[in-house]
Amino acid sequence: MNTTSTVPATVSLGSNGPQVTPLGVGTWSWGDSLFWDYGKGYDQSQVREAFQASVEANITLFDTAEVYGLGESERLLGQFAQENNTEVAIATKYFPLPWRVSRESVREALTKSLERLQVDSIPLYQVHTPFSFFMNQETLMDALAEEFQQGRIEAVGVSNYSAGQMRKAHEYLQKRGVPLASNQVQYSLLNRKIESSGIWQTAQELGVAIIAYSPLAQGLLTGKYTGQENPAGARRLDPKFKPSGINKISPVINSLQKLGEKYQKTPAQVALNWLMSQGAIPIPGAKNAKQAQQNAGALGWQLDPEDTQVLERVSQPWLKG
């Protein structure tokens, strides 16, 4: 068993991009009561502790978005970083809303995000989704390239982009001499579509980092859901959290549990370690210190190649969806 870490202390966001920790923290649930029930069962004091626990574990990459909690996630992150006098690497996102039709919209949205985050610049600014009905991609990429050149963002990323859309974004940015640093996509043992859709391969070819969102399949890969409980927020309507959904994923959970015993890790830590062994940067959401500490324990050790293969075999049905 390989217990010495082969995951580097930092990874680059794209070729020669900013260096960040190989594991980040997702902050969608911080301040969000639309999907996550923020304010019921957990609140500001718990997410503050999640922030502190992550930083104490040397995890400094935090993913947020202007739409999370309608700005509250960014506000909390900015506040916590100030309170702790800690420098963290924040990746936020621009949402292509219908009334955002000009380059000016990007400038204004970024200004507001930076104000909420209480910083002058950030390592990564991502386009949340590839909507291009209102502002075409070339105009959008031009506006982002301008911000890169002005120094308010150290790297440009996209999210939920297909292989073709990523290639286009890369091409538009390249015209301005700006690299495309990352594509943030759903990726976990229960969603491996990026491996079969060409996204992974294209990212490799273009030198684009893959940031894996919902890396614990919104909590399913922790193994704590049995189908009997009512998970918080919108997940209570999701069939994946019902008994038949839990039954379907039991081979994956059983393998994670078995490997967890072998390495003395939790299923969540094994699932996150597998993603890092693939070369992705997972950003698990954490609502409290315990979750943040546990997720941080995915670092500092490495699954043996034969064990990553076990997980690949058992999760094969999720290659297509």
**Could you give the count of Cα atoms lying within 13 Å of 190 in the half-sphere of its Cβ?**
25
Asked if 284 interacts with ligand NAP (CB under 6 A), we say: yes
Asked if 21 touches ligand NAP (CB under 6 A), the answer is no
Q: Which residue of 283, 298, 299, 303 would you call a contact of ligand NAP, by CB under 6 A?
A: 283
Among 22, 31, 157, 215, which residue sits at the site for ligand NAP (rule: CB under 6 A)?
215
Assess 77 for contact with ligand NAP (CB under 6 A): no
By CB under 6 A, name the one of 97, 101, 119, 232 that touches ligand NAP.
Answer: 232
Q: Annotated catalytic, 68? A: yes
Asked whether position 222 contacts ligand NAP by CB under 6 A, the answer is yes
Of 102-141, which residues contact ligand NAP (CB under 6 A)? 128
Nearest distance in Å: CB 175, ligand NAP: 25
Q: How far is the CB of 84 from ligand NAP (least distance, A)?
A: 20
Task: From 134-142, 208-216, 255-263, 309-317, give the range in contact with ligand NAP by CB under 6 A.
Answer: 208-216
Q: Which is nearer to ligand NAP, 231 or 300 (CB)?
A: 231
Rounded to a whole number of angstroms, the minimum distance from the CB of residue 71 to ligand NAP is 14
H helices within 226-301, ranges in order? 243-263, 267-278, 289-296
Contacts of 274 (CB under 8 A, 6+ apart): 189, 303, 308, 311
Cβ atoms of 67 and 27 closer than 8 Å: no
Q: Is residue 294 near ligand NAP by the rule CB under 6 A?
A: yes
Please state, in angstroms and rounded to a whole number, the distance separating the CA atoms of residues 157 and 135. 17
Distance CA 65, CA 157 (A): 13
When asked if residue 96 is in the footprint of ligand NAP (CB under 6 A), the reply is: no
Which residue is catalytic, options 38, 42, 68, 172?
68
Residue 20: what are its φ and ψ, rounded to 5°?
-135, 165
Q: Where are the alpha helices (H) located in the chain, listed in sequence order?
A: 44-56, 72-84, 103-117, 137-150, 163-175, 193-196, 199-206, 243-263, 267-278, 289-296, 305-314
Please identify which residue in 63, 66, 72, 74 interacts with ligand NAP, judged by CB under 6 A. Answer: 63
Q: How far is CA 86 from CA 52, 82, 114, 119, in A?
A: 10, 7, 16, 12
40: left (phi over 0), alpha (psi -120 to 50) or beta: beta
Q: Binders of ligand NAP among 153-192, rule CB under 6 A? A: 159-160, 184
Least distance in angstroms from the C-beta of 121 to ligand NAP: 20
- Interaction between residue 216 and ligand NAP (CB under 6 A): yes
In angstroms, the CA 300 to CA 133 distance is 44
Calpha distance 25→15 (Å, rounded): 22
Residue of the chain from 51, 125, 172, 213 that contacts ligand NAP (CB under 6 A)? 213
Part of the chain binding ligand NAP (CB under 6 A), chosen from 27-35, 48-56, 147-155, 309-317? 27-35
267 lies in the site for ligand NAP, by CB under 6 A = no
| Bridge partners, 127 (sequence order) | 94, 158
Long-range CB contacts for residues 227-236, cutoff 8 Å, separation at least 24: 232/36, 232/37, 232/40, 232/41, 233/29, 233/35, 233/36, 233/37, 234/34, 234/35, 234/36
Is residue 295 close enough to count as binding ligand NAP by CB under 6 A?
Answer: yes
Q: How far is the CB of 213 from ligand NAP (least distance, A)?
A: 3
Q: Is 22 near ligand NAP (CB under 6 A)?
A: no
Axis-axis angle for helices 72-84, 103-117 (nearest 10): 40
Instruction: Just list the catalytic residues.
Output: 68
Contact residues toward ligand NAP (CB under 6 A) are: 26-29, 63, 128, 159-160, 184, 213-219, 222, 224, 231-232, 268, 283-287, 291, 294-295
